[in-house]
Structures are given as C-alpha cells and as structure tokens.
Amino acid sequence: MTDSLQTHVRKYRTLLDHLFALLLYLLPHHLLSWLADWVTRCEWRPLKSLLIRSAIRLYGIDMSLAADPVPENYRSFNAFFTRELAPDARPLEMNENVVLSPVDGAVSQAGFIDADSLIQAKERKYSLSDLLGGDSETTSLFAGGRFLTLYLSPKDYHRIHMPLTGTLKKMTHVPGRLFSVSPSTTRTVPNLFSRNERIINIFETGIGPMAIIMVGAIFVASMETVWAGTITPQSKRQAHWFYSGKSEESLTLERGAELGRFNMGSTVILLFADGTAEWDVRLAPGQLVRMGEGIGLAVT
C-alpha cells in the first residue's frame, strides 16, 4: 500500500470514527440500555434462541469452552452472554507474584499514570481524578502508579476476576453517560472513561492498593459484583459503600476469584500504586489477553 493510499485510508477511518461518535452523542443512551436489558433477559424461547444462535455465528464463539456448551439450555440471552467457563478453560498462572489478567479482552492502553493523567488513546489523555469521581484521597493512592485499560468485545467472556488476592475497602458508583467504548470511540470522544457510568472497586493487596474499575457502555444494561449483586443507583449522585475490615464485614477475594460481571461488553481499568507493579512488555494496544494469564509482576 502506497503512502498516499495509507493517508487516505487513515482520513477515511477518522471520518467514520467522528460520524459514529456524533451519532452516539444524539442517541438516548439509558433508554437504549433499558431496552437491551428487557430484550436480553427475555425468556421467550424463539427470541432468546435466535439471539444466542446469531451471536455464536456472528462472533465465532467456541461453546466447547463453556461450562454448559448447549445453547438451548440458557434461559435468556443474558444468561448465555455471562456464561460460566469450564473449570479448565482458563488456567491461572501459578506464580503468585504474577498479576493476572482479570478478563478476556484486548489491551486498549497500558503505562504509567503521569501525575493526574492517563492515556485514553493516541494523542488523547484524561484525568485520574475525574476517573475516580473527584475523590482526592483515592486519587492520591494511585498518582504516579500504573494503569491498564482492557476492552471486552461482544465475543469475549464477560466475568471479571481478581488479578491478585485483595480485601475490599470501598465501592463507588459514579453515574454518567453510556457511550460505546469501542476502539473507534476511544479515539474520538474526549474523557470517555470519566464520562461513562462506572463502578470503582478499591482493594488492599499484599503490595498495596489496587483499583478495579468497571466502565459501563451503551447496551450494558447493568453491572454486578459478587458481594452486592446488580448495582442499581438510587439517584444521579455518586453512591459509596465502605467496608471496615471487621470480621463480619470483611470480604477477601482470592487471586483468580470472580468479582463481578458485565451484562454486555465494556471496559475494565486496573490501577496500581507507584512502585507496586510492572506490566509485561507485550501489553501494547491491540494485544489480546485471556483471564488468568500473566500480565505483569507484583513488586514486593
């Protein structure tokens, strides 16, 4: 491909990205997600079977990896979409000092947190403080640390697991928009991850604090955690849940344990404090990862 043709292809892709982003600005995000919630949880056999079979064909989903490989056995499309994998489908990296990928997905960006700045896409940055809902105390924990953004496409496994063993300290729900989080949107919508609805989970690990941020997206009708179930906001303001660490309230999840799930595709952002974790050098944008494989080292 000549340089001139490559330039024209890039310009055409950029134009399509901006047109798609413009459409997203105009769409009623929450209404569409409410409709998606109704459709994907419908248990009427003809509809749910059509949706499941269509998804398997469209995305080439390997059902042999599922704990239940029979599509007809799922009561709804959402049950299929959040399906459990077979016990041996995602073996964990055994070295306890290795940070595990929490999901199946693709690397969007990975690197250092430059004071209050993270990379969203090439030549596009956003604020750590904004991502964390303006919480200055939590922001100070991760300033200068490491971040990793992982994008889950519709074909991916949609449960989220622990990169390291950790004790839950705080959960925050931040209301917001529901822009698509596809690669084209991350290239064009400013401050995408700090504009979208999200759940911020703060854990204390053997190497210090760790944040696992679940970012909602269009058609992501809801997000769940294993300790709180479906997170249903009661208002348009932030909601906080604190976990004191007392024995009756303490929740420690082991490395590799499930912590939550998306009810459609979205994004997970990992944060570690300065000097506590190092990413694998292969974590470049577009790199595919699988839950349970090593993505970095814990610095002890």
Distance CA 155, CA 176 (A): 25
Distance CA 32, CA 49 (A): 21
Distance CA 158, CA 149 (A): 15
Distance CA 78, CA 10 (A): 36
The DSSP code for 5 is H
Q: 83 by DSSP, 3-state: which?
A: coil
Question: Any alpha helices (H) in 82-215, and if so which ranges?
Answer: 128-131, 136-142, 183-188, 192-195
Residues taking part in catalysis: 104, 161, 266
Distance CA 267, CA 152 (A): 6
